[in-house]
């Protein structure tokens, strides 16, 4: 995940209620679902990376869970769960790529993004 991707997850989390813009309305269902899967994968990467950097933090865990759940609501099948998504081959590939990309981002940038997530007001 590039620095841009880490920053993307932060920006998206700040504007969670407007996750589906007019742009998203012109996408096919499959394309829209793929974008949502990318967002969820980014959140899941941060949910794994941030505790390693900042230590265990209940507030961070809660925010990351809320973020993932809010993204799930944007799936075409509204009843999709994280457990179901984990079985999806497309999501598995997206998540693996997100973890590989995150490994390339320096720890200072990761720490900065994680800290900013903690500062997000509910």
What value, to the nearest 5°, has the Cα angle with vertex 103 and ends 99 and 108? 125
Number of H helices, E strands in the chain: 7, 0
pLDDT at residue 8, as a whole number: 54
**pLDDT single digits (tens) 64-103:** 888 888 899 989 898 889 999 999 999 999 999 999 988 8
Q: Residue 5 pLDDT > 50, yes or no?
A: yes
Residue 22 pLDDT greater than 70, yes or no: no
- 76/33 Cα distance (integer angstroms): 7
Rounded CA-CA distance 49/13 in Å is 16
Q: CB of 67 within 8 A of CB of 121?
A: no
The whole-angstrom separation of Cα 84 and Cα 91 is 10
């Amino acid at each position: 995940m590039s620095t841009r991707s880490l920053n993307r997850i932060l920006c998206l989390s700040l504007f969670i209620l407007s996750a589906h813009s007019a742009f998203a309305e012109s996408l096919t269902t499959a394309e829209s679902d793929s974008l949502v899967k990318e967002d969820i994968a980014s959140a899941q990467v941060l949910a794994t990376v941030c505790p390693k950097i900042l230590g265990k933090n209940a507030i961070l865990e809660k925010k990351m869970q809320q973020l993932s759940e809010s993204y799930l609501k944007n799936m075409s099948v509204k009843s999709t769960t994280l457990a179901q998504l984990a079985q999806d081959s497309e999501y598995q590939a997206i998540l693996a790529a997100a973890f590989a990309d995150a490994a390339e981002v320096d720890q200072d940038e990761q720490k900065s993004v994680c800290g900013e997530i903690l500062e997000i007001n509910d």
